[in-house]
Amino acid sequence: DARVTQTPRHKVTEMGQEVTMRCQPILGHNTVFWYRQTMMQGLELLAYFRNRAPLDDSGMPKDRFSAEMPDATLATLKIQPSEPRDSAVYFCASGLVLAGISYNEQFFGPGTRLTVL
Amino acid sequence: KNEVEQSPQNLTAQEGEFITINCSYSVGISALHWLQQHPGGGIVSLFMLSSGKKKHGRLIATINIQEKHSSLHITASHPRDSAVYICAVNYNTDKLIFGTGTRLQVFP
């Protein structure tokens, strides 16, 4: 049963600490998305990758957030230093985008619930 | 201004009722998605469509490209259908633009 996995599922940390969230996309998928969900803003795209290359990170605060794909089976989202306003649920999703098609079905991971005190 | 509008924001129903959730968008799209999020947070993709109609079990999704409008219907609703339903669109890119969601509660 192929699914997107994310770790940790929950993270409580203090302001100023570094937070790293990990995502394992579905094997064979070539596109990985990072989303943030808050009560106020709903779901927002932070960044996404195609074949491990970053395509768009315009939704991400660049001074403290960074996203990488060190290999095809791992995507990471890092916050350093973390702030209370970063408290949210962070979702990773993956999909298979075919050549010439600008959309794909996305499969979401269970999310990482981050609380920054 | 959110480019994807959903209505209603909240919906309550009795078990067995037919339910409709609406989504409208502002310009031409390449695809529209309906997502379901249960309490506890997991997000599941229900449908992805760019024209016509799709059906899966008791769920039906339709899209009218000319009207820039989509509907999600649930027939014979059940308490386990209680969730937030989210409409999202691709405006000719991979990026999804999300609606604010419709919170559905189905009572026995």
Cβ–Cβ < 8 Å for A79, A61:
no
pLDDT digits 0-9 by tens, B80-103: 999 999 999 998 788 899 999 999
pLDDT digits 0-9 by tens, A61-98: 889 999 999 999 999 999 999 999 999 999 999 999 88
pLDDT score of A1: 67
Confidence of residue A102 (pLDDT cuts 50, 70, 90): low
Side chain identity, residue A33: F
pLDDT score of B80: 95
Tokens standing for residue B54? 């799709």
pLDDT digits 0-9 by tens, B14-38: 999 999 999 999 888 889 999 999 9
pLDDT score of A32: 95
How far CA A115 is from CA of A12, A19, A45, A54, B99, in Å, comes to 5, 10, 19, 26, 24
Q: Which of residues 48-107 of A touch B (CB under 8 A)?
A: 48, 50, 55-56, 89, 91, 93, 97, 102-107
Cβ–Cβ < 8 Å for B63, B76:
no
Nearest CA in chain A to B90: A103
Could you tell me what percent of chain B has a pLDDT over 70? Answer: 98
pLDDT digits 0-9 by tens, B55-86: 999 999 999 999 999 999 999 999 999 999 99
pLDDT digits 0-9 by tens, A22-50: 999 999 999 999 999 998 888 999 999 99
The chain-wide mean pLDDT, for chain A, equals 93
Picking from B48, B50, B86, the nearest residue to A43 by CB comes out as B86
Q: Which of the residues B96, B100, B102 would you substitute to probe the A interface, choosing the one with the greatest number of A C-beta atoms within 10 Å?
A: B96
Tokens standing for residue A23? 């995502």
Q: Inform me whether the pLDDT recorded for B1 exceeds 80.
A: no
For residues A10 and A97, the model is more confident at: A10
Alpha carbon of B45: minimum distance to chain A alpha carbons (Å): 7
Cβ–Cβ < 8 Å for A23, A33:
no
pLDDT score of A97: 85
Question: Picking from A7-16, A60-69, B35-44, B51-60, which range would have the lowest pLDDT averaged per residue?
Answer: B35-44
Alpha carbon of B99: minimum distance to chain A alpha carbons (Å): 8
pLDDT score of B27: 84
Q: Do B41 and A113 touch (CB under 8 A)?
A: yes
Q: CB within 8 A of A75, min separation 6: which ones?
A: A22, A23, A24, A25, A32, A34, A49, A67, A68, A69, A92
